[in-house]
Amino acid sequence: GQQLNQSPQSMFIQEGEDVSMNCTSSSIFNTWLWYKQDPGEGPVLLIALYKAGELTSNGRLTAQFGITRKDSFLNISASIPSDVGIYFCAGRVGETSGSRLTFGEGTQLTVNP
């Protein structure tokens, strides 16, 4: 099946720094999603990307759908302590609502005040 390689696995940064993480796949995806998971909670959708080359922002977060359809990245600018959590990328091949999501392994982000 499809696999997503997410990197880095973990990041330790100072408050105010910018963060970048990415996902790559050997398969083509038609949708890329980025989720954040706080401790003890379920994943929450941050950004959804539906078109190759698409660049979308949500506040301090910016994500891009790679031109090859095999990668995506997420940037967080001017990090703050509440950015701490696990960030997951997810990809979907099909266009129908029944098609499955494949998740990356996650990036654990720690922000030091």
Partner 1 sequence: NAGVTQTPKFQVLKTGQSMTLQCAQDMNHEYMSWYRQDPGMGLRLIHYSVGAGITDQGEVPNGYNVSRSTTEDFPLRLLSAAPSQTSVYFCASKRQGSRTEAFFGQGTRLTVV
Q: From the CB of 111, what's the least distance to partner 1, in Å? A: 21
Which residue, 41 or 82, has its beta carbon nearer to partner 1? Answer: 41
- Buried/exposed code over 66-80 (b: 16+ C-beta within 10 A; e: otherwise): beebbbbbbebeebe
Q: From the CB of 17, what's the least distance to partner 1, in Å? A: 24
Which residue, 77 or 101, has its beta carbon nearer to partner 1? Answer: 101
Q: From the CB of 37, what's the least distance to partner 1, in Å? A: 8
Binding site for partner 1 (CB under 8 A): 1, 4, 6, 9, 33, 40-45, 48, 50, 88, 90, 95-98, 100-101, 103-106
Nearest to 32 by CA among 54, 61, 59: 54
Which residue, 20 or 30, has its beta carbon nearer to partner 1? Answer: 30
Q: How far apart are CA 51 and CA 110, in angstroms?
A: 30
- Residue 43 has which token pair? 């994943």
Q: How many alpha carbons fall within 13 Å on the CB side of residue 107?
A: 26
Which residue, 59 or 98, has its beta carbon nearer to partner 1? Answer: 98
